[in-house]
Structure 1
Amino acid sequence: MKQILKFSRFFLPAVILSLVLIISGIVGYVVYGGFNLGVDFQAGLIQEIQFAPTAIKLTYTGKGVAGISMDKNKLEIIISGSDVEKRTYTYTYASYPTLGSMIDAMSGIEGLAVEVVASRDVATNTLVQSAQGNPRLGSVPYGIHYITSDVGLIHIAEVRKALASLGNVSVQNLGQPKERKFLIRVEDKGTEQEFAKHTAEQISSALTNAFGEGQVAISRTDYVGARFSKHLTEQAGLLLFLTMLLILVYVSFRFKFHYAAGAVLAILHDGLIMVAFIVWLRMEFNTTTIAAILTILGYSINDTIVIFDRIRETLKLNPDSSFEDNLNRAITETLSRTFITTITTMFAVLSLFLFTTGAMRDFALALLIGMTSGVYSTIFIASAFVLFWEKKVKKDTIKAAVTASAGLKKA
């Protein structure tokens, strides 16, 4: 006969451990002054930059409208307009391996002027595009940058120092250090009109003064207004509340109310544990974080339902055993399933954590924390609450019976 593990012995220590972790999260929230809010939940400007010197500058004064498109394999210039026939000039890096060969090929485009900044021997597969400004080519020079594998590193402290004049600025590394990519976030306090435009200009000016003209490519610029960020925060809170409510209704219908209360308590526990780690690790709290929390809530309730279902089945098969013994038996019988399912999923999430960067890496880390908490809470929080409730009901029933018996004797 399979040995029954006495999980109920560890319910109280587990609850104490959970309280310590949750309280530590609250302390961290107070110490750090809240979450490290992403631009989704905090009004402000966010820019993704890459330190890469300028290779060439393009201007266009011909007929129609000229646009530029780039990917890792090619560069394209598209001429279009009502008075011209649409033409696409494609320059693959395989066909034009050096900057010089590509520039010579571009000389055939009427109205296109190319100013060479870097050496003509620069490899074209090192080119990167700046997304700042209008992607259409015009009289204002449009810069295309490049970055080689042997380029020197840029330390995050240097970037923060360069942007110190802007006040409260958040700077984060993106990707591998050799890629020299950074994420810059500046909070909008609502005191300045045209904040996005002025701040973008200040960032560009500060970086140019510190690192030189044409050394920075702006890959992405986003702005979230105060009204939108407030609305998004309210929607996220409402979404989490409705999730809890629907789970409470479903589990109450499927089992009993105290089972539902235990399930909701467990997923609430998982959310708070994830939040505690997010606070102390200073992970950015954004829509990706909300997605991770909701994913874990669904994952955790699935485990909880499996164990509750086994408890109900075990109670029918062993009516003479105590509820505590049946609960321990049910958890023991489902333990291998719980661990195998969780570990298998963790392998996939771990690969995301190890081989990705930025928001995706944070998402994977949040999932790893949540999965661990989900298994723990299913066994030691949800089940513990159900056992506590059953013992209390039994105690109250015995007390009522004793009181009734005493009343009859007196009569």
Structure 2
Amino acid sequence: MKKIIKFSKFFLPAVIISLSIIAFGLVGFFTKGLNLGVDFQAGINETIQLAYPAGDVTFDGKGNAELTVSESQLTLVFSGAEAQKRTVMLDYKTYSTLADIKSALEKEQGIRVSLAEGSESLPSNLLVPTYQGNSLLSLNPVKLYRAPKDDTERYASIDIVRDALSPLGDITVQTINPPSSQRYLIRVRDNGEDPHFMTNTPQTIRRLIEDKVGADRVVVVKADYVGPQYSEALGRQSVWLVLMTLVLILIYSAIRFKIEYAIGAVVAIAHDALVMIAFIVWTRMEFNTTTIAAILTILGYSINDTIVQFDRVREERKIHPSEPFVDVLNRALTLTLGRSIITTLTTMLAVLALYFFTSGSIKDFALALLVGMVSGVYSTIFIASAIVLFWENHKKKRQAKAPKDKGVPAAAVSKN
């Protein structure tokens, strides 16, 4: 017979540990707050990269010419009624220096390239991609930028960026890994005082940083703006979404099992959500719609695990009706432990692939899922089961205290 693990001995220490983690998270929440993404905070989130000017490109030919710089190649697309539609792709392996890129581009009619002094021999893979989309070439020069060639050319730091933007007041600046890329996420809150905030702020950011590090050294990677009404509405909707999920799970669990099981299940998944919030607060992970999706995913994952455990408890109670409930509970948890571990580890393999092979918000989503899955297995065993055991013990004590004979004896009634 399989050895029964006495999980019930660890219920009280587990509850104390969980309360400590949740309290730690709440302290962080009220003192540090969430690192709100642009979805939940009125203002602008702008990602910039500090680089060097590499040169200018102009076009005075017929038709249209669009230039795109990626991490592996430079692409030039000709179109229009007066031009033959064609695409020119210059990969950095074939055209290994900026001089090679210039020579190849100037073979195309109407294209003129002017490289910055001393840039001719630099590797072409240092070119900074055109993150804001294709650049339509004209007589007005389109600037090319390059990353630092080595550590000696790296001039930026998060302190320099913060110092440059200090006139803006309430801002946050984060380094985007790796630090050698000189990329920074700048968040400026919209307090509603500037009616042209959306257009003025990006210009101000560029001007202040260029005043600090030099002209033509700021590349805008991405810029997002969210108005105050949208961010407030989205925040309220997210809270209601999580609360309604908990209510629906409570109703479902109460119908399928008993009320004590339903309360245990809801407390367990609420525990998982609070643990994830604590992790997000203290790691300063950006809290955005992707984070909400991760929390809701874990709520569904955790309740599935809890339902399986409770099903087993119900079956074991039918098989061993005379045994103390604590023994039935320990046996059910022991029998389903292997299934819970294997299922979680299998799911984690897919999530780990997301974590290691993606970046940005998807990487944060995967990390939040990993924390939530560990918490989900833990809460199913030690939190949901502890609630049910406490309820059963309390009910048993109340039944023991209740008088055995609540009515008047039949003999006494017949005498009257």
Alignment TM-score, normalising by the size of structure 1: 0.91
Q: Distance in 1 between matches of 2:208 and 2:389?
A: 62
**In 2, Cα distance between equivalents of 1:173 and 1:336:** 42
Q: What are the equivalent positions in structure 2 for 1:304-315 lying under 5 Å apart? A: 304-315=306-317
Match of 1:342 among 344, 352, 359: 344
Tell me which residue corresponds to 2:223: 221
Is it true that 1:117 corresponds to 2:119 in the alignment?
A: no
Percent sequence identity over matched residues?
A: 49
CA RMSD of aligned residues (A): 2.5
Aligned residue number for residue 18 of structure 1: 18
CA–CA distance in structure 2, aligned partners of residues 213 and 335 of structure 1: 62
Question: In structure 2, what is the Cα distance between the partners aligned to 1:240 and 1:310?
Answer: 27
- Contact 2:272–2:375, Cα closer than 8 Å, also in 1: yes
User: Secondary structure of the equivalent of 1:269?
Assistant: helix
Shift of 1:98: 1.8
Shift of 1:329: 0.7
Q: Which residue of 1 aligns with 2:206?
A: 204
Distance 1:134 1:356, change over 3 A: closer
Aligned to 1:41: 40
Change (3 A) 1:238 1:279: same
Change (3 A) 1:95 1:14: closer
Alignment of 1:10-409 (within 5 A): 10-32=10-32, 34-118=33-117, 119-131=119-131, 135-148=135-148, 150-152=150-152, 153=154, 154-350=156-352, 352-353=354-355, 357-400=359-402, 402=404, 404=406
Contact 1:174–1:358 (CA under 8 A) maintained in structure 2 = no
Q: Which residues of structure 2 form unaligned runs of 5+?
A: none
Go from structure 1 to structure 2 and tell me whether the alpha carbon gap of 1:407 and 1:188 turns closer, same or farther (over 3 Å shift): farther
Find the residue that maps to 1:404 and give its secondary structure. coil
- Over 3 Å counting, the alpha-carbon distance change for 1:46 and 1:2 in structure 2 is same
For structure 1, which runs of at least 5 residues remain unmatched after alignment? none
Task: Give, in whole Å, the separation in 1 of the partners of 2:188 and 2:141.
Answer: 27
Q: How many residues align?
A: 410
Moved more, 201-210 or 401-410: 401-410
TM-score, normalising length from structure 2? 0.90
Match of 2:5 in 1: 5
Mean CA deviation greater in 124-133 or 195-204: 124-133
Task: Provide the rounded CA distance (Å) in 2 between the counterparts of 1:67 and 1:14.
Answer: 61
1:310 Cα deviation after fit: 0.9
1:325-383 superposed Cα distances (whole Å, 9 cap, x missing partner): 10111011111222233234445545555565543443333223212211121012111
1:113-133, CA deviations, whole angstroms, 9 ceiling, x for partnerless residues? 322115211222221224459
1:319/1:57 CA distance change after superposition, 3 Å: same
The letter of the residue matching 2:312 is: R
